[in-house]
Amino acid sequence: MSKQHLHHEPLELHDTPDALNIDGIYDDEETDSEVRAAAVPAHGVSLPGAIRRFYGNYWNSRGGASASEFWWAMLWVAIVTVLLAAAMSAMGDMVTNGTASSLVRTVYMLMYWLVPLWVMANIGPFISLIRRRLNAKQGIVD
């Protein structure tokens, strides 16, 4: 068997910013899908509507938030946080005293992880809502 000698020219790949910008791809530009529309304040919104807007505008600080939207969302976060803390405290006392059943200990262990996740999941919408409320009070329109 004879070997065929094929001559290939080496393929030169350049990993430079200019090479990556071929076809109009620039890291500094935002595409239309990356730009979120400014939130319009919803005056007289109900509790369920405020909760939907609270999570729907996750990390969206553009636009404004009405007072009712702000206070309903804050009430929601406060009530759920207090209920979770109260349940954790009650179950924690039972577990510490040794009077808890295996089900209560299991639920306590699950809530031990749920409460920090609840807090972390609400930091983004909380910061965004405060920013949007300040924007509305100052008359800033993005």
pTM greater than 0.85: no
Q: How would you class 68 by CB atoms within 10 Å of its CB: exposed for 0-12, middle for 13-18, buried for 19 or more? A: middle
What pLDDT is attached to residue 71? 96
Higher pLDDT, 52 or 35: 52
Q: Under DSSP, is residue 42 helix (H, G, I), strand (E, B) or coil?
A: coil
Give the mean pLDDT of 38-65: 89
Based on C-alpha coordinates, what's the Rg of the chain? 27
Give the mean pLDDT of 83-111: 91
> What whole-number distance in Å separates Cα of residue 102 and Cα of residue 113?
17
Contacts with 124 (C-beta within 8 Å, 6 or more apart), sequence order: 58, 59
Q: Is the pLDDT of residue 97 over 60?
A: yes
